Structures are given as C-alpha cells and as structure tokens.
Amino acid sequence: MTAASLAATHEVFNQSTPWADANLFMTNQPLHDALRLHAPSLPLAGLTALGAEMGSAEMATHARLANTYKPQLRTHDRFGHRTDVVEFHPSYHALMGAALRHGLHATPWSRQNTGHAHIERAAGFMLFTEAEPSILCPVSMSYAVTPALRGNAAVWADWSKGLAATQYDPHLALFSQKSALTMGMGMTEKQGGSDVRANTTQAVHDGDDAWGARYRITGHKWFFSAPMCDAFLILAQAPGGLTCFFLPRVLPDDTVNAIRIQRLKDKLGNHANASSEVEFIDAMAWRVGEEGRGVAQILEMGTMTRLDCALGTSGLMRQALSIALHHTRQRSAFGKKLIEQPLMRNVLADLALESEAATALSIRLASAFDHKDKNEHEAIMARLLTPVAKFWVCKRGSVFAQEAMECLGGNGYVEEGGEGVMARIYREMPLNSIWEGAGNIMALDLLRAVRRADTAAALADELAPARGAHPALDRMASALPLRVDAMTTEAEARRLAQDVALAVQAALLYRSAPSAVFGAFCESRLGGDWGYSFGTLGTGVDLDTLLSRALPA
C-alpha cells in the first residue's frame, strides 16, 4: 500500500452543497402569491433585499455562531458588585442589527398610513425566520407591546420614537441616550403559568411623577425572555387587582433598576435568545392602563405575539422544505436523484402543499391586522384566525420538520454544516406552539371568539369566494357555521380549530394558487384521500406542479 493511498482512501462525491446564497424571497412563489392576493400594490424592493441578505452565507454563519455560543449570564463583576448582565456572541448583535434595520420590530405602528405595514412586516418576519428565528423573540415582543404602551401617554411620548428607530444599540443605558430601544414581557410565574390570575408579585403605590403612577414591585417571573431589553411590560397584583406595569432596566435618574436575573433557562432550542428567571426587589415600575385591567392588556399583546408564532412556524417550514428540495436534487440513490424517486416526490410535494397552506393562512391573518380598525369583517377575522392559525400552523410544525429532516437521512440529524440547520429547525419548532399559549389555550380562545353572534356569518363570508369550487370544501363550508353556532363544550374546541384552519386554507389557496394546488389540498386534507403521514397524496395529484412551484430548480 502506497503512502498516497494511506493518506486518501476515497474521493468525496454524491453529497449536496449547503443551501446558501439564494434570495429567499425571489425563490418563494407561494409568498409572492399570498402578497399579491392581499396587498397587490405592496412595493417588493425591501423584501427582495431582505430575502437576499437572509439567504446569504454570511447570515447563515451568524446564525450558526449565535446558536453555538449561547448567551452567558454575569450576575456579578470580579469585585463582587451585582451586574445582572447577559453577554452575547457578536453574531447575535449582527442579527439583531439586521432585524431592526429592516423594521421587523415596532416600526409598523409608525407606518400604518401605508395600508400594508403589518403584512409587509409579516412577510419580512417569515424571511428572517428562515435565517435565524430565536433572536426574533425581543423583536416580536417589541412589536407586541407597543400599542399597549399607549395606555401610559407619558411613557409612550418618551419611548415611541426609540421603539420605532432602526439603528440597533445593545448597550445598557438610559433610554434617551440610545439610538433604538427594544422591549420584552414578563407575565408567567412558577405557580401559575398561563393562569396569570394566580400571580403573586405585588405592586405598591409609591407616588406619582412625570410618567404617572409609580409603584414598587416585589416578586418574581419564571419566564422572562430577552432580559437585556431596555424595558418590559409585566403583570403584578395592585390593590385594584392584576395590573400591567412598565418596568425599565435603567431608571430616569440613570440608575439600574432592581431586576435580579437568577439564571438563564437551559432550553431545547432557541439557543441564541436568552430566557431567564428573575426576581424584583422593590423594582420601580409605572402603571399602564387602569388597576385591575392587566388581563385585558396581556390579551392585546398576546394577539400580536401569536401572529408571530404562526409567521415564525411558516418561515421554519419554508426553510426546512427548501433545504430538503435542495438536497434531494443533488443526492442520488439507487440510480436516480432522490427527487426523482416516486416515494420521495410524494413526500416533498406533500410538504410543499403544507408549507404553502401555512403561508397563505399566516399572511391572511397579518392582512387582517392592517384593516381591523376600519373594517368589521377584518376585525372578526383577526379575532377568529389568531387562535386558529397559532394552533394549527404551530401544531403542524414539529411533524413537518421531522419529515423534512428524514429527506436528508443521517445528514439531517447532525449539528454541523449547512444541513445542520435542519436539526436547529427541529429543536425550534415546538417553541411557537408552546409560547404565548399552548394548544389548549388557543382552543379556548377560539371558543371565546365563536361565541360572539357575528362570528359564524363572518366565517361564511370568508369562505364564500371558494363555494362551488370543490365538493369537499363545500361540505365543510356548509357545516362550519352551524358547528360554530352550536359549539357548547370545550372538549370539541381542538377539532373546531383544526377544521376552521383547513377550510380557510383551502379557500385562500383557491384564490392565490394554481388549481392543481387547490385540488390537491382539498382532496387530501378535506376529502380524505390522504394517510396519517406526509407522502400519502393520492395518485391523481399533480406532483410536478407542486414541486416546481415550491422552489425553482
């Protein structure tokens, strides 16, 4: 045996290249069509630029590094002084800078006169998620808390400009000394979880100042995400009941507030983002809204973050699908490219169908946010589709990621390289289903929505454009309003959420997608020509159309 043969035993071939340096927006036809349906006049230059940046190899490297080198908590400095600082890898800050630069945080609230600020931001949020989802936690919370913050006019006057600013500033400093601001939320406690009425954190009135009623906060939060944000909206028990408060990290006198970070959560995924447990020891906060109205405030904020859960999962689906298609077009087995194998074609087409339906529903919900203040139907759709989209799209995410990972075989299960993104996606998927209300909470929210007298009629109107297009959809569309009116038990709420989601997805695909996509969706998801796993589409489905539409070769 020669020295050369000992040094190199074989040539590496039949391996795919990383999915990188592709414009994530220009290659996403389903997203283009959803935007064309709901916002036909929307300028696309910003999304095109974002798609190119998020699909770049540079951003993929930042995403890998930010997740590999997790945030580190420094409770004290070397001299023993309390600091409560979380340190991040530079790639985290690069990603945050990009998210704010593209206006994915609170900027839609300052652009509402455009008529499409929320839907444009939603599309951008999905594209950014494909590159790196976990840093979007503080971005999403900044988006969600902004309208609620108007409940304190003085705080809003001082903070609104910084919250809409796009020049990211990671430093811990007084709000007036920063180029941009971010906000987080702290709601749940050990003993209550989603039952925030069980919170024990106490708020004691401490006088009034330029920001209104000031309180001293003593207690804890069990999940306190993005603890390095500039301020937070929290819930605490005031004399008048559970109340919403504005809690800044740095007080108006330029001293650091008494927020003690106890530890960071060791999470399944979402590794680039810091989630923490905190205690408040006479921390200073200002009331937002009236005493006792905290639940109403948190529901308003929760609506926004639940939209982002659906958008985020749709983005992760899209990224997993793109990686699977990219891989199977290059790798061969048994004499053919994987994508040419009949079973693999069925799996990939089925995944493409699911991804497109998720995109259609999520963008439809975002469009409702642009018009709900002026249009009664859109207001009802925002109320109805928020728990529906959050429930169904997020529930589908984990099984989708598992099937997409399987398309890559063992390469999809490893943590390194371009294909290692699939493992990160798989770990990330359950978060959006759990965060801001797990499945049962969403089903209960749906029940509250459908018990309003106008909901059944509005749902019928939403499905009306597709009536007569497919018998399976017609049957479901006829039955759903009756089921909504007759809904009396919580035990049926999950089934109702599923069926509303499927019917609305089908109606949207009728309006935005080719007939082959619409027909395949109705026959599989509504008509029963489908099994219990992906890859079980019927023999009459046009797989070529589904695959070519999903990602250009």
Q: What is the DSSP string of 162-188?
A: HHH--S---S---GGG-S---EEEE--
**Distance from C-alpha of 285 to C-alpha of 206, rounded to nearest angstrom:** 9
- Alpha carbon of 436 to those of 23, 148, 185, 498: distances in Å? 31, 16, 11, 19
- Reported as a single tens digit per residue, the pLDDT across 268-283 is 999 999 999 999 999 9
Is there a contact between 523 and 514 (Cβ–Cβ < 8 Å)? no
Domains 183-293 and 296-550 share a fold: no
Q: Is the pLDDT of residue 3 over 70?
A: no
- Reported as a single tens digit per residue, the pLDDT across 36-66 is 999 999 999 999 999 999 999 999 999 999 9
Residue 413 DSSP label: G
Q: Is the pLDDT of residue 323 over 90?
A: yes
Is there a contact between 285 and 236 (Cβ–Cβ < 8 Å)? yes
Q: Is the pLDDT of residue 242 over 70?
A: yes
The average confidence (pLDDT) of the chain is 93
**Distance from C-alpha of 100 to C-alpha of 142, rounded to nearest angstrom:** 10
Which pLDDT band holds residue 553 (cuts at 50, 70, 90)? confident
The amino acid occupying position 326 is: H
- Tell me what percent of the residues of the chain surpass a pLDDT of 70: 98
Host H or E run for residue 392: helix 376-407
Helix (H, G, I), strand (E, B) or coil at 278: strand
Q: What is the DSSP string of 291-352?
A: TT-HHHHHHHHHHHHHHHHHHHHHHHHHHHHHHHHHHHTT-EETTEEGGGSHHHHHHHHHHH
Q: Is the pLDDT of residue 108 over 70?
A: yes
What integer pLDDT is reported at residue 419 of this predicted model? 63
To the nearest 10 degrees (0 to 180), the angle between helices 29-38 and 117-131 is 170
What integer pLDDT is reported at residue 520 of this predicted model? 98
What integer pLDDT is reported at residue 281 of this predicted model? 96
What class, spelled out in words, does domain 296-550 have in CATH?
Answer: mainly alpha
Which pLDDT band holds residue 451 (cuts at 50, 70, 90)? confident
Which pLDDT band holds residue 6 (cuts at 50, 70, 90)? low
- Alpha carbon of 479 to those of 497, 501, 502: distances in Å? 14, 14, 13
Structure tokens at 163: 């919250």
| Domain boundaries defined on the chain | 29-164, 183-293, 296-550
**Distance from C-alpha of 65 to C-alpha of 70, rounded to nearest angstrom:** 9
Q: Which fold has domain 183-293?
A: Butyryl-CoA Dehydrogenase, subunit A; domain 2 (2.40.110)
Helices vs strands, H then E, count in the chain: 18, 11
- Give the count of alpha carbons within 13 A of 149, CB side only: 31
Which pLDDT band holds residue 436 (cuts at 50, 70, 90)? confident
The amino acid occupying position 39 is: A
When comparing pLDDT for 370 and 197, which is higher?
370
- Reported as a single tens digit per residue, the pLDDT across 157-191 is 999 999 999 999 999 999 999 999 999 999 889 88
Q: Is the pLDDT of residue 295 over 90?
A: no
The amino acid occupying position 285 is: A
**Distance from C-alpha of 104 to C-alpha of 440, rounded to nearest angstrom:** 29
